[in-house]
Amino acid sequence: MIAAMVVAFATACSGDVEQGGVNIPAERGIVLNLSGGALGVATRAEGMADNEREYAIQHLDVMIFNDAEDREDMSLFYHERVTAAGPSGEVRLGVDIDSIVVGAKYWVYVVANSTYDASTFAEMESVASLHILSQHDYNLHLTATGLQNTSSHFLMDGVAYKSASEPATAAAITIAEQKITDVVTLNVKLRRAAAKVVVRLLATETIEFTDAIVGATPGYYVRNLPYATRVVNDGVLRQQDNLETTHEAMSEYYKWMRDAEGNITGVEITLYVYSHMWDTSDSFSHATNLLVDVPAYYSTVKEGARVSVEHPNNYYQVPLTQEFKFERNHYYEVTANVHAPGAEDFSEPVQIQDLKYSVYQWTERRVDIGGEQGPEYLKVNLDELKMYNTAIDSKSLLFSSSSPVTITVENCYYIDKFGVQRTISAGSYNIAGTTPDGSIAGNITVMSDVPTNNTIRYFTLRVVNETGQQEIVVVEQYPLVYIVNILGHYSYRDDFKSGDNAPTTIYNEGSRITSISLNSWNEATGLWSYSYNSSSAFWESKVVRETYPATDSQSRQGRSNIDYYKWSRSGFGSSNYSLNYSNAQDPGNARMYHVRITATSGDYNLGVPRLTTDPNVSFEFTDPGADNANLVSPSFMIASRLGFVSSSNYRSANSDTKRISLARDHCANYVEVANDGTVYDDWRLPTASELQIIIDLQGTSNESADAIDYLLNADYYLSASGRVYNSKNDSGHTENQAQASSWAIRCIRDAY
């Protein structure tokens, strides 16, 4: 979080530059433009402020590798150690520009302040060799203090790029698009290999920290300090065994905190660690802890009187285990109020309780050397927020910032019944994110009218502070009943097979069965027998041949061209079969609708409907009982148009018993495969209340609903307990006028 700086270097210098044994003309060459560090700011970091030490560069190792598919084959093309800026402050490389191959790709790695000799980098065989190179820095926590046996500068690394902004993923670059006739500028953002940890222990009414006790020797040391790291970041966070327990020291990183009158209010200790991860099971041997000696007076009562007791040796242990990891270039902040004295012996320190932990990116910033500096940061606790049937959430989002923030609302939309993203206006639904004016920490209040169209509303909050740092929060807002949809691809039935063959599908010829018709009714068993591939089919397999995009005409947006498919002989007398198609509906709705309900109403009870069995069938089906008929699954899917049943070919099912048997068999055997390849094969008949829910939610033939298409258009639909009148039928029939012969099937499935 404490900043690094951005230094832009000029791209020209006066006169020719002699580097690397090559005479580089002033008007031609390669210039390295750094951000994250300042070359030449310091050759020694002693006596510098923290924010200056942390970006100071002593030397750079610049390595250019030939690109290849395998890291082992990325050979070193050029190396240079740079120890000073050019005449105008630029980093001008000494590479022979005429040796750069036009159009070739190169990887340009930059390492700052490595403790290795330049020869180590000059002799690199490949990028793979660089990626496995590790550096050990004992007493890393004291880097740049100037104390004996400590590093003077912080290890940094980066990969160069040519674009104006850094790409999300490092990549090879083409240095020369054509013969180099002027200055080529490469950019690189250096990031520290270390993580920074700042611990603040605050005095309270019972503990007074002091620097006035004669003979007291305040100091600190670290247990399990991770002191090894890869020289360049390979993106892997590891548990490491290179851990040391340091000697107790008093350094510039141990600072008294004082109020405006100069009174000590606490102590602040800064330390640096390399990346490391561990877990609770190995925290004793691998977790990093700070042990600190803070001289203090302790206010207590003795013999009825309040006295102040001196504690010249006052050891506390601060476990740095909240995150169970340290990551490169991250800033960790730990704060605690201290209420009791510590231990007199460093071997048995008192562990501090109720620690508050924060973690941030150790961000880059421009620093004016000598000017007053402070940390720059912005952190929001969530990047995704879900609001369930509420218009205001003032508790879930928390932020902490180095400066006041502004919040803007972007990208407001919902997904309609055909999967089309529909943009909406934030103002129309009172969508906003707010914080108290001028606040730098606390809650973000999110407001948005509860959706009334049974869709999930999506919008984005962009939180930006005064220094330009930003966080994004994506909000999903759910009403009590909401519906999403899944695009279907093709359908078939499990019984479209003979013998041991797998069922026939569009991708499996199998027994070439793609349709089914009624044969005869068995009064004794209450079951139908069926004929397959007959000319009077009541159901045929279907496939989506094409789905029209959101940019198509209004009547086709998100809809599909749905065809029947059959396996037919390729020619007379041929033994080869191929797929043939005939139109079922174009445009048609090939979407399955997933309905989720989060509250019971006075018209139904929320609960998973009971399934039952029959000795004459091999599958479970929806229980037809009256109590079950009033149940509605809290999460169910509705089959798409790919499950459409032709009513003209089941006229012989002329009683509810026969109809339910037919419909029950069809749902049990029906299979629909989604566009993403998911197979749904656990369909059932809906309960009467589930059918009523679908009728209530859908639009009409003349009035569209946002979330669900006009699905049910027949006079009646079959539930497990009998026919249900459809008040939104497209014939206009009232319940008294409804035709018994106008009934249809719509299968559903429980979806969890």
522-542 burial by CB neighbour count: b if 16+ within 10 A, else e? eeeeebbebebbeeebbbbbb
Structure tokens at 301: 């009562």
Q: What is the pLDDT of residue 87?
A: 45
Residue among 539, 547, 590, 743 at smallest CA distance from 656 = 743
Three-class secondary structure of residue 398 per DSSP: strand
β-sheet bridge partners, residue 407: 463
**DSSP character string of 132-175:** T-EEE-TTGGGTTS--TTS-SS--EEEE-B-SSS--SS---EES
CATH topology assigned to domain 17-191:
Immunoglobulin-like (2.60.40)
DSSP run (H or E) holding 53: helix 50-53
pLDDT at 164 over 90: no
Non-local (6+) Cβ contacts of 599 within 8 A are 480, 606
With beta carbons less than 8 A apart as the criterion, state whether 178 and 135 touch.
no
Tell me whether the CATH fold assigned to 17-191 matches the one assigned to 194-361. yes
**DSSP character string of 447-482:** E-PPPSSSS-EEEEEEEEETTS-EEEEEEEEE-SEE
pLDDT at 616 over 50: yes
Alpha-carbon dihedral of residues 729, 730, 732, 738, nearest 10 degrees? -50
Of residues 401 and 461, the one with the higher pLDDT is 461
Distance CA 375, CA 358 (A): 13
pLDDT at 628 over 80: yes
Phi, psi of 705 (to 5 degrees): -100, 150
Residue among 89, 227, 62 at smallest CA distance from 158 = 62
Of residues 202 and 354, the one with the higher pLDDT is 202
Domain parsing of the chain, residue ranges: 17-191, 194-361, 406-479, 497-589, 593-750
∠546-550-553 over CA atoms, to 5°?
Answer: 85
With beta carbons less than 8 A apart as the criterion, state whether 145 and 253 touch.
yes
Q: How many other C-beta atoms can be found within 10 angstroms of the C-beta atom of residue 197? A: 23
pLDDT at 362 over 50: yes
The string of pLDDT tens digits covering residues 220-258 is 999 999 999 999 999 999 999 999 999 999 999 999 999
Structure tokens at 79: 């190396």
Three-class secondary structure of residue 622 per DSSP: strand
Give the DSSP letter of residue 281: G
209 dihedral zone (left: phi>0; alpha: psi -120 to 50; beta): beta
pLDDT at 43 over 70: no
CATH topology assigned to domain 194-361:
Immunoglobulin-like (2.60.40)
Structure tokens at 92: 């001008």
Phi, psi of 618 (to 5 degrees): -105, 10
Per-residue pLDDT band at 322 (split at 50, 70, 90): confident
pTM over 0.85, yes/no = no
- Reported as half-sphere exposure (CB side, CA atoms, 13 A), residue 471 has a value of 23
Cβ burial of 647 (10 Å; 0-12, 13-18, 19+) is middle
Distance CA 457, CA 447 (A): 12
Distance CA 412, CA 226 (A): 46
The string of pLDDT tens digits covering residues 393-411 is 998 998 988 889 999 999 9
Considering the chain, what is the average pLDDT of its residues? 88
End-to-end CA distance of the chain: 42
Distance CA 724, CA 721 (A): 9
Q: What is the pLDDT of residue 367?
A: 34
Average pLDDT over residues 359-372: 51
The string of pLDDT tens digits covering residues 697-720 is 998 888 889 999 999 999 999 999
Q: What is the pLDDT of residue 373?
A: 42
Sheet of 183-189, strands arranged across: 91-92, 29-35, 183-189
pLDDT at 18 over 90: no
